Structure 1
């Protein structure tokens, strides 16, 4: 099907447009596509009329032989018009029913036909408006959906932002908590190390010297230790800040500066007149009964952290206790040394027999212990030498040792051999000192018979050096320790002495070591004693005693007292 219309004016264009619309409807073109075709055709025809001349509108249907499966409208200039030679204008719409015959006429020119065409156009317009309303509804629906989505996105962003802020705040709080924990750990570690350093020394001056070393520069720029008992007539008075004097009087820490310190447990005072620009923290060094002094510190920076100030107050308290302990130790040590000097025996001079004794206290604690030695004559002229060891250390052991020494001398007045004397000491301890135990060796030298009688009770055996350099350990069966709940009679043992012989009595502190036991130590003592000749021992037994001790005491620290008694029979 092919139709052609000649268009010379508006009326021709309107009739052609009506005919095309009818044919499109006949071929089943949808309303929207039909309206789009009519609108596009009307617009082009209007442009053609504006240009002037005659125009041909050709409409080709899908049932045209060799034509397309669509409805195509072509506008070309009329050959006899002045617009001939211009390019044709074409518009095409698909036909859903290409096999349908279109019998629509070319249109009518009466009023009824035009009115019918106008109503048909209005129906198409109504359909388009309905479609447009549906699209607007869809647009409004999707706009609302988009708005709700945007609101949700905004709310999600707000929640994410709040969650991010909360997470950042949590991280910051965790970081602050970690820093505070690390600072607290640092302070506790410093306090523990400083307390150990102060408590490790029992020397008062050493503790005072260590305080500035511990505090500068980490917690103080300068340290001044004011000790009350160090101010005497030999030293000129030293000016101290008023806050230090107030701390000494009240026993409370004082902070003197031109600004409040805000330190826990510390009173704020005006700045010191000695140096108003420098803040000072005055901490009392308290003892058990009386204050010892004041520790005055200047801050390493502008001021102290409150937690650091709490730690410094605790350190000052511990330093005061350490100083008080050192003073008590020094006082007790002086008493112990005085008592020890009083208890040490002056060895008697005996013709033909030389004696040398050495006593070394343990390097820990008070310089006094339970080791003791003694030498005295009996009524028959024989010489009693004894060495013993009371369990324990300190003043109590020294007092018990003194009682044993006194009891032994009292029993020796009645005579009797070493075994008898040890047996009586054993009974004394069992009845009068049931919680006290001791070991001892007693050796008796008879000047006329040149014999050695000895007995031991739980004590390391005597070592005898013969004139030819050979050494014997007198390890005959000893008695048990003195004071144990056991009835015993301790036996005597006798040895013939040759001029030039030397007997060594000693305590276990000389030969016993925890890692090696006692037997290797006795062997070392025997070796050291056998290394000397009789002439050397005759010449100077005192020097020989020192030379014998030196290799046996190579350790710088001793856990026990050491006692050695040498008895040399002249050649």
Structure 2
């Protein structure tokens, strides 16, 4: 389509109105929508109005196939307004030369009505969008509320998890302490040792200071104790004394103690079956924690059991020692033979063993020195030891020698106590005879120290242990003993240690015997003590120890 153009001179308001009317007609004929047409004409009129007041303008109009180009050029100024408008239909050419102002005014009202209608539709659409936006905002707010609630719930769950983990860790720590403390208390059967360990276990984490009051302790009368401790001892119930209620599980509340106004006291009864004492704890801080109190109650119960066990053990130990020593013989006094003996109970267990020594004269004037060891510990071993001792004396009175006596003892033990065994060594000293006749049943060898200091071990092979289920005849051996010689009989508890074999212990005993000088051997009891010191000082011994020294020559 051929392009057309035209130029309009605008010198007055009427010119401007006619120009506007012409453009309104052109854009309407070209099918420009009313809203776009109104927007374009409004801008065009505004520039014409400004130019009319400033001396006029020139309007250049050029129509192409589907576009309309309009430029407003003010008189005397370089700046101008220019706009290009797309047209749905071809712009009619030639361009009109005149316009009907009255018709243009009516058409302008029609355009305004179209714009207003379009605006109403737009406002309705905006209203719909506004409602949708409002609903969306409400949904977003609800979503934010849900997210906040979920975050709050998550925080609460995390806090609960942290609290549960902290509680579990605290419970684990309390249970670990309780287990370790119980093991430490039960590791000893000494009452004083248990009482010494308690403060070290509890101070300073669980108590500021600790006091243990045993009811049978005459040196610690109740007059100097807190009233809560006396109440706990009388009622057997734990007591809490403070200026505020403790509300502790299983604990009664009492007013603050005058002996501890600044710290609460927790007084816990001690005892397995009856109250033996009271454990008083001063709080490490302002109050006692409930969980910690539950642990302390259990620890006090276990401490009471440990003290009760120690008390019973002490009673049994005294009875056992009395029984053991009652079985030991008072050594005879003979002109040609000096005797000294020592018995040392084991450092572990109830100290009831089967070790024994004996010495007694025979009808022919000779003296039998005996040492033996029944296997095992306990009352049964002690009773069998007493039976063997009595039987041995009976067989000896009949005139039997060491070997025959052991044979008879072996036969008796094998038939009467088939599951119990014993070792034994018998040495016979005859006045005026420079020899010793001896026999052994599975017992460590005797050691001889001659007057000149020479030491030798009587290494003849011993017979089997007494009671072994085999028929056996024991043999006698003879060893020369110059006057003034010392023969040492002993049980394996003196020479045997877990860390070393028995041979090393025998060699050590031989060296210790050889190290004694003649003056020390004159006092045989002192010599026995001198031998025990190097043999027992280096370690605790799990077995009883017997030592019997026999020195020949004038006493």
Paired with 2:26 and 2:544, the residues of 1 have a C-alpha distance of: 136
Contact 2:484 2:553 in 1 (8 A): yes
Deviations 1:106-155 (A, max 9, x none): 1354xxx853x456545655664565466556645654554454344333
2:407 equivalent in structure 1: 423
Q: Which residue of 1 aligns with 2:538?
A: 555
The residue number in structure 1 matching 2:353 is 369
Partner of 1:306: 290
Q: Deviations over 1:381-419 (max 9, x none)?
A: 221111111122344433332222122112211111112
Alignment partner of 1:360 is 2:344: yes
Q: Which residue number in structure 2 is paired with residue 61 of structure 1? A: 62
Name the SS for the 1:443 alignment partner. Answer: strand
Asked whether the equivalents of residues 442 and 455 of structure 1 are also in contact (C-alpha less than 8 Å), the reply is yes
Cα distance in 1 for partners of 2:442, 2:534 equals 25
| Aligned equivalent of 2:172 | 185
User: In the superposition, relative to structure 1, how do residues 94 and 236 fare at CA in structure 2: closer, same or farther (>3 Å)?
Assistant: closer
3-state DSSP of counterpart to 1:568: strand
Query: Equivalent residue for 2:323?
Result: 339
**Contact between 2:68 and 2:91, CA under 8 Å: does it hold in 1?**
no
Q: 1:447 Cα deviation (Å)?
A: 2.5
Q: Output the CA distance in 2 between the equivalents of 1:20 and 1:236.
A: 125
Task: Check conservation: 1:443, 1:455, Cα contact below 8 A.
Answer: yes
Q: 1:523 aligns with which of 492, 507, 511?
A: 507
Instruction: Tell me how far apart the structure 2 counterparts of residues 308 and 99 of structure 1 sit (CA, whole Å).
Output: 98
Please tell me whether residue 38 in structure 1 is matched to residue 41 in structure 2: yes
Deviation string for 1:275-305 (max 9, x for gaps)? 78865433222243x3223334443333322
| Residue of structure 1 aligned with 2:145, choices 150, 155, 158 | 158
Shift in Å at residue 329 of structure 1? 2.4
Aligned in 2, Cα 1:170/1:193: closer, same or farther, shift over 3 Å?
A: same
Query: Which residue, out of 428, 437, 443, partners 1:453?
Result: 437
Q: Is the 1:504–1:564 Cα contact (8 Å) retained in structure 2?
A: yes
1:536–1:257 distance in 2 versus 1, CA, 3 Å: closer
CA distance in 1, matches of 2:420, 2:548: 24
Is 2:555 aligned against 1:568?
A: no
Q: 1:283 pairs with 261, 268, 286, which one?
A: 268
Unaligned runs of 5+ in 2: none
Match of residue 412 from structure 1: 396
Which moved further from structure 2: 445-454 or 218-227? 218-227
Q: Which moved more, 1:462-471 or 1:322-331?
A: 462-471
- Give matches, 1:490-569, under 5 Å: 490-532=474-516, 535-536=518-519, 539-569=522-552
State the TM-score, normalizing by the size of structure 1: 0.84
Q: Give CA-to-partner distance per residue, 1:524-571, whole Å, 9 cap, x none.
A: 2233334456x4575343333333333332423111122222223349
- Cα deviation for residue 186 of structure 1 reads 3.2
Query: How far is 1:347 from its partner?
Result: 2.2
Pair 539,244 (structure 1): closer, same or farther in 2 beyond 3 Å: closer
Check 1:222–1:58 CA distance in 2 against 1; reply closer, same or farther (3 A cut). Answer: closer
Partner of 1:76: 74
Determine which of 229, 235, 238 is the counterpart of 2:216: 229
Aligned to 2:311: 327
Structure 1 unaligned spans of 5+: 78-84
1:80 alignment partner in structure 2: none
Structure 1 residues 431 and 95, CA gap change in structure 2 (3 angstroms): closer
- 1:238 matched residue in structure 2: 223
CA distance in 1: counterparts of 2:514 and 2:227, whole angstroms: 70
Q: Work out the number of aligned pairs and report it.
A: 551
Q: Distance in 2 between matches of 1:560 and 1:394?
A: 12
Q: How much does 1:103 deviate?
A: 1.3
Three-state SS of the structure 1 residue aligned to 2:532 is helix
- Are residues 516 and 278 of structure 1, via their aligned partners in 2, closer, same or farther at CA, if it must alter by over 3 Å? closer
Q: CA deviation at 1:165?
A: 1.7
Give the corresponding residue for 1:254. 239
Q: Distance in 1 between matches of 2:524 and 2:260?
A: 65
Please give the root-mean-square deviation of Cα atoms over the aligned residues, in Å: 3.5
Match of 2:185 in 1: 198
Q: Single out whichever of 552-561 and 150-159 deviates more from structure 2.
A: 150-159
Cα distance change, pair 271–8 in 1 and its aligned pair in 2 (3 A): closer
Distance 1:555 1:98, change over 3 A: same
Q: Are 2:97 and 1:106 equivalent residues in the alignment? A: yes
Call closer, same or farther: CA 1:58–1:278 in 2, change over 3 Å. closer
Compute the TM-score of the two structures, normalised by the length of structure 2.
0.86
Task: Pick from 15, 20, 27 the counterpart of residue 23 of structure 2.
Answer: 20
Worse-superposed segment, 274-283 or 221-230: 274-283
Equivalent residue for 1:463?
447
- 2:8 corresponding residue in structure 1: 5
